[in-house]
Amino acid sequence: MHEGEHEDRRRVPRQDADGRPAAAAVPDVRPLDGFTVGVTAARRAEELGALLERRGAQVVYAPALRIVPLSDDAELLAATKDLLDRAPDVVIATTAIGFRGWIEAAEGWGLGETLLARLEAAELLARGPKVKGAIRAAGLTETWSPASESLAEVLERLLEEGVRGRRIALQLHGEPLPGFVESLRANGAEVVGVPVYRWMPPADIGPVDRLLDAAVGRGLDAVTFTSAPAAASLLHRAEERGMRADLLTALRHDVLPACVGPVTALPLEAHEVTTYQPERFRLGPLVQLLCRELPGRVRPLTIAGRQVEIRGQAVLVDGELRPVPPAGMALLRALARRPGWVVSRADLLRALPGAGRDEHAVETAMTRLRGALGAPKLIQTVVKRGYRLALDPRVGAKYGDG
């Protein structure tokens, strides 16, 4: 077990039909067992996915964009030559991959040593520890780095120092920098943008379309975003397919949108989507946030003497994970909206995805659901009326009997 991983598990005791602890041991329940999470990252997607899977999640990979290096791009070459001809007073490095790419591109053009000399002579600001690592790997030392890892703190420092008449090189990284450049220029600075890479649509749009279908169909419990361009790209693709309104509704109500930080969240929040963000803008804290938020949305129920949690695409019965087919989950969710109340076959039929008008589909799906749960008594058949969750009398009294 990895260090700290014991914090991500909790042991749930198994009970018999009378609610007493049973002798058989039950595997530990991981916080994301039963939940399905979409990953839109183009970079470090496997690392994020591994963290999620280690905590029990099913992961749907759908890179919403791809990074195109600009080593052969005339724009980057022109910006680099401009800075070599007229040295900058300040250089702001925003991402490690971008800074390394810039140095590598300059070396390919035969300008590496000259660029390093210019950077060494300038006030070199690093947005965060990873950028500092890239700077030091190039044989340089940063002048300063903000504790918050925020460009807002960088801007505040520069404005306090005074920027009038100063030449500032800003490494662009594909994400919006609202007001940053404008504030510097309004206070008299000359700002030179250094475009080290561009975001492009993914070469294969299929995984993105499948993620969109799953989100709109509530087959996902959360979607993670690690860059603003990925969020913007997903929204753009949804608009192309005529499903942006449905996607936004899903993200506002049922599918948790988890963003690594406030800049990443901007495209979503511009559409009135409330996002969830960790206090530290890192993959680990992002995963820990999901480990708290997703289980926190589940209301445990005591049904027929068993502890039941309806989790995303699976069910915990006395702490044992029971995968349930999509049709069965649709029925179970319909029953759980009013625990203990009778739900008619007609209403359950409407809840089934693509079931048509044959109520026999309800009976077939119900049989499979009971089998998947491994506890047929959890769901009672009410003759000529429908089905209900068999809440214990002391619990069902709170809800009524339908």
Split the chain (402 residues) into runs of 10 and give each run's mean pLDDT: 39 45 58 94 89 94 83 82 96 90 91 96 92 94 89 92 96 71 94 85 93 93 92 94 97 95 87 93 92 91 87 86 87 88 88 72 88 87 88 51 38
The two three-digit tokens of residue 261, written as one number: 């930080």
pLDDT for 9: 41
The two three-digit tokens of residue 305, written as one number: 């003497």
d(CA 221, CA 38): 8
- The pTM for the full model equals 0.70
d(CA 367, CA 322): 15
CA distances from 281 to 39, 148, 195, 287 (A): 16, 9, 23, 11
Contact predicate 307/300, CB 8 Å: yes
**Other residues' Cβ atoms within 10 Å of the Cβ of residue 24:** 9
Residue with tokens 């009524």: 400
d(CA 43, CA 46): 8
- Residue 319 is given by DSSP the state T
**Other residues' Cβ atoms within 10 Å of the Cβ of residue 353:** 12
d(CA 175, CA 197): 11
Q: List phi, psi (to 5°) of 331.
A: -65, -45
- Residue 32 is given by DSSP the state T
The DSSP line for 293-315 is: HHHHT---EEETTEEEEEETTEE
Architecture of domain 31-65+202-296: 3-Layer(aba) Sandwich (3.40)
User: Which ranges constitute the DSSP H helices of 189-271?
Assistant: 206-216, 228-240, 244-253, 262-269
β-strands 197-200, 66-69 pairing: antiparallel
67-199 adopts what CATH topology?
Rossmann fold (3.40.50)
The number of angstroms, rounded, from the C-alpha of 279 to the middle of its chain's C-alpha atoms is 14
pLDDT for 68: 74
d(CA 270, CA 176): 12
d(CA 137, CA 380): 66
CA distances from 135 to 41, 77, 139 (A): 24, 20, 7
Domain 67-199 identical in fold to domain 301-396 = no
Architecture of domain 301-396: Orthogonal Bundle (1.10)
What is the side-by-side strand order in the sheet with 167-172? 123-126, 90-93, 167-172, 190-195
Q: Give residue limits of the domains in the chain.
A: 31-65+202-296, 67-199, 301-396
pLDDT for 75: 85
35 closest CA partner among 10, 62, 57, 52: 57
- Residue 23 is given by DSSP the state S
